[in-house]
Amino acid sequence: MSIRGGVENAPKLARELGCEVMQIFSRPPQGGTGQELTPEIVKNFKLEVESYKLKAVYVHAPYYINLASTDNRIRYGSISAIRTELERASLLGAEYVMTHLGSAKETENSEAIKKVIDGLEKILDGYNGSAKLLIENSAGAGRIIGADIEEIENILSKIKHPALAGICLDTQHGFASGYDWKEGVNFENIKLIHTNDSATDLGSHKDRHEHIGKGKIGMDGFAQIASFAKKQEINLICETDYPEVTEDIKILRELVKEK
């Protein structure tokens, strides 16, 4: 949901689209400090969430994150940004913050993974807020960390902090990384799903969202995704464009009801 004019405006917009849960950026995704979350703004935001009967709020970390960078300015900036996002999300009463991990680029993969694990540990050191962190899978272009969901599960297994809660599965990213959802969804650590169809082919490694049923995943794939989400009681977020996203929400709601 857009936070144009302030985060406190987002709940009303979400409900107008028929949303039961919503995701926001708490500040500009490409960089910048964003809106100061004063006590009054936080109070108004929570009142609006309650007023419009939203069941959960999620916060997406900025896009520029790279915990595997060899440039300390980028790496430590990413660590600081995610920690700040967790703290802002806690103020807002959001359940999860989801983040990508970054790219290994010229670094050996094993060394890049070590940097990511160290970065996550630094983010969570001393953190006691209510919002928890999810790692989102990537589409896999370049030497991206986290396109392989098993790789994310391995990273999760190395860190014992309770605020690192699991995986945010993006269906388009997973499809682009080679996971055919028509064959089912079989991962244990998924806590939230970004439910997007794919404009690109299976295994394309390209991040191109499409509206539900109009892409390469197709309705058979989303039937499997909806079934998994219902059984595991996982909420679904659409990241497709306005105004067609309203139809995506209706389709997903019907698929979940059918299961």
pLDDT tens track for 35-48:
999 999 999 999 99
User: What sign for the dihedral angle of Cα 255, 23, 94, 64?
Assistant: positive
Q: Which of 1-5, 40-44, 174-178 has the lowest mean pLDDT?
A: 1-5
238: left (phi over 0), alpha (psi -120 to 50) or beta: beta
Neighbours of 42 (CB within 10 A): 16
Dump strand ranges (E) for 70-198. 96-99, 132-136, 164-170, 190-194, 197-198
Q: Which of 8-12, 27-31, 125-129, 130-134 has the lowest mean pLDDT?
A: 27-31
Neighbours of 174 (CB within 10 A): 28
Cα–Cα distances in Å, from 84 out to 60, 94, 243? Answer: 12, 13, 31
Give per-residue pLDDT as tens, 59-110: 999 999 999 999 999 999 999 999 999 999 999 999 999 999 999 887 898 9
Is residue 30's pLDDT more than 90?
no
Q: Which amino acid is at 152?
A: I
Q: Are the CB atoms for 19 and 233 separated by under 8 Å?
A: no
Mean of all residue pLDDT scores within the chain = 95
Q: What domains, with CATH codes, occur in the chain?
A: 7-258 (3.20.20.150)
Place 142 in a pLDDT band, splitting at 50, 70 and 90: confident
pTM for the structure as a whole:
0.95
